[in-house]
Structure 1
Amino acid sequence: MGTIDSDLYRDILEFAHDTPSWFQDLMEVWTELGLLLFAVLFVAAWWRARRGDPRALAVAVLAPLGTAVAYVASELIKSGIDEERPCRAVAGALPSLIDCPVYGDWSFPSNHSTIGAAAAVGLALAWPKIGWLTVPMAILMAFSRVFVGVHYPHDVAAGLLLGTLVAFLVVGLCARPGARVTVAMRGSGNGLVRWFAGPGTGGSETGAAYASGRGAHRR
């Protein structure tokens, strides 16, 4: 592992040990609490989009789907690179603030950072006005993984990049067919399916335009 990255890891961990215990506890909790908050925002974005046009609902549903795809991608990369955790590999570093993950739970890339970035970007695409909230949430989640001592800085940087790319790809590739599926769901004879898709806005003309592909790029 590069000396610069290891030195930065040591510096951040030393800073972490110098912070008050309540702040350490807060950062430890945030590494997991952030995931729960993203899940709540996924539900809120879906509920909000139920009264939007078909593409809006499609993107809202694709946000958690893209996050799941990003997580799987990060796990596949982990299994191929086998990078040891810095809490075991960096000589002279202070102890991590939380237990070092077991051997075989590799370090690169950070799953939390990947999930956080994919969720943040997916939510921002589905609900642009909350991008100011979701992006800092993802960055703070990524930093917290180095702060508590279980990831290198490059692990979280790679995770943020991976999650961002996957989110954009999933939405970019699937928004148009997703809008068509939404139109079909809103016209379904199944009440539960119609409830999930919501009433939408714009009437039958808008729905027909999306179904034919002419409204796929409307926002």
Structure 2
Amino acid sequence: MPGSPGFDGSGIDGGLYTEITRDARHAPWLLNDTVSTWSAFGLALFAALMLTAWWLARRSDSPMMARALATPLVVAMVYGVDMVVRVAVREDRPCRSIPRSFTLESCPAPGDWSFPSGHAVIAFATAAALWLVERRLGAVAGLAAAAMGASQVWIGAHYPHDVAAGALTGVALAAPLTVLATRGAPWVERARKGRLRPLLVTAA
């Protein structure tokens, strides 16, 4: 049930979480505002990187375009797995398990489980998928994913192990799914000869 007690994960790395959030409590307001803004809106960067991957893939072969087109679907599928795991594990947010813990944002409602971090899952899944489409975009996404994961602990939303699990889940699932998407190359090849050609091939 959404409002029922969940698993207390503070025994895993609650001490590290407390140390990090204590640093956040005493950090300059500009740093905290920047981290909070990144946490709230940073996922938009990953969407922009996916669009960029599609745009660049117009110059690539059909297998690579198939991977680029599949990236949003891959990320959505991985996030779906994350939601299932959250409900299965039912780990309470650290702001509920650790009394008087400092957070930069209000504590999520009961039933908004903590493990794994959804932000980390999305960020690292995107990075893994983009690495298999265009390495430079993948590298940018990887750095942004690390920053997103760190922000989730800094603002007090997740334990470090939530972020680590989210990163592992994102990479472990997104990489093989993106490779599997290469099988859509024949469809892309046919589509490049039809009405969708302007969206799939760059002008000569």
- The TM-score, its normalising length taken from structure 1, stands at 0.85
Which residue of structure 2 aligns with residue 44 of structure 1? 52
Which residue of structure 2 aligns with residue 35 of structure 1? 43
* Partner SS, residue 126 of structure 1: coil
Residue 184 of structure 1 deviates from its aligned partner by: 1.4
Asked if 1:150 is matched to 2:157, the reply is yes
Out of 96, 100, 108, the position equivalent to 2:107 is 100
> 2:89 & 2:130 partners in 1: Cα distance?
29
Sequence identity (%): 37
Asked if 1:141 is matched to 2:148, the reply is yes
The 8 Å contact of residues 53 and 200 in structure 1, kept in 2 or not, is answered as no
Residue 80 of structure 1 deviates from its aligned partner by: 1.0
Residue 199 of structure 1 deviates from its aligned partner by: 4.9
Question: What runs of 5+ residues in structure 2 fail to find an aligned partner?
Answer: 1-8
Out of 7, 11, 14, the position equivalent to 2:15 is 7
The 8 Å contact of residues 57 and 179 in structure 1, kept in 2 or not, is answered as yes
- Runs of 4+ deviating beyond 3 Å: none
Bigger shift: 177-186 or 148-157? 177-186
Residue 167 of structure 1 deviates from its aligned partner by: 1.1
Asked if 1:71 is matched to 2:76, the reply is no
The 8 Å contact of residues 70 and 166 in structure 1, kept in 2 or not, is answered as yes
The 8 Å contact of residues 16 and 147 in structure 1, kept in 2 or not, is answered as yes
Residue 187 of structure 1 deviates from its aligned partner by: 2.1
Residue 15 of structure 1 deviates from its aligned partner by: 0.9
The 8 Å contact of residues 50 and 72 in structure 2, kept in 1 or not, is answered as yes
AA at the equivalent of 2:166: G
- What aligned pairs does 1:127-138 form with structure 2 within 5 A after superposition? 127-138=134-145
Residue 194 of structure 1 deviates from its aligned partner by: 2.0
Q: CA RMSD in A?
A: 1.6
**Matched length:** 196
Bigger shift: 137-146 or 177-186? 177-186
Residues 126-165 of structure 1, C-alpha deviation per residue, up to 9 Å, x if partnerless? 1112333111110110110110001011100000000001
Which residue of structure 2 aligns with residue 185 of structure 1? 191
Structure number with greater Rg is 1
> 2:126 & 2:97 partners in 1: Cα distance?
30
Residues 83-142 of structure 1, C-alpha deviation per residue, up to 9 Å, x if partnerless? 10001111353x211011111110000000000000111112111123331111101101
The 8 Å contact of residues 82 and 107 in structure 1, kept in 2 or not, is answered as yes
Which residue of structure 1 aligns with residue 199 of structure 2? 196
Residue 200 of structure 1 deviates from its aligned partner by: 8.6
Bigger shift: 12-21 or 56-65? 56-65
- The TM-score, its normalising length taken from structure 2, stands at 0.91
Residue 79 of structure 1 deviates from its aligned partner by: 1.1
> 1:167 & 1:180 partners in 2: Cα distance?
21
Residues 37-68 of structure 1, C-alpha deviation per residue, up to 9 Å, x if partnerless? 11111111101111211011111112222111
* Partner SS, residue 132 of structure 2: helix
Change (3 A) 1:109 1:200: farther
Change (3 A) 1:200 1:158: farther
The 8 Å contact of residues 107 and 155 in structure 1, kept in 2 or not, is answered as yes
